[in-house]
Amino acid sequence: MAKLSVRVVKVTSSAKNSAKENLGVSEVQGIHVAAASSSSAFAALIWWLVPFFAVLGAIIYVTWVAKFKDKYANETNRSVTKFQSFQDSFRDDSTPNT
């Protein structure tokens, strides 16, 4: 029968400590604070820019639809009329329409 053994390993932060000793504690903290503040500023910028461009795009789209709606409606009616006359050209005038 095989034995199952579990080994617990404690991980130390010697790499962090050596980095702090090489750079100095205040320099490491300053880098961390600068990275955190630029990250939060960038996140705030994104949270303002995305909705701004979404609203701007919606306004442009609504304006575009309102401006060109009549033009496309007229072209659609004209196309339907042309298609109906095309269909009528194949009909025999002597037979009744069904």
Predicted confidence (pLDDT) at residue 28 exceeds the cutoff of 90: no
Structure tokens of 84?
């109906």
Q: Give the predicted TM-score (pTM) of the model.
A: 0.38
Structure tokens of 8?
């617990």
Average per-residue pLDDT for the chain: 73
Asked whether 91 and 97 are in contact (CB, 8 A), the reply is yes
Asked whether 90 and 83 are in contact (CB, 8 A), the reply is no
Domain residue spans in the chain?
23-88
- pLDDT, tens only, 31-63: 555 555 678 888 999 999 999 999 999 999 999
Residue 51 pLDDT: 95
Residue 19 CA to residue 66 CA, distance in Å, equals 62
Predicted confidence (pLDDT) at residue 30 exceeds the cutoff of 70: no
Predicted confidence (pLDDT) at residue 6 exceeds the cutoff of 60: no
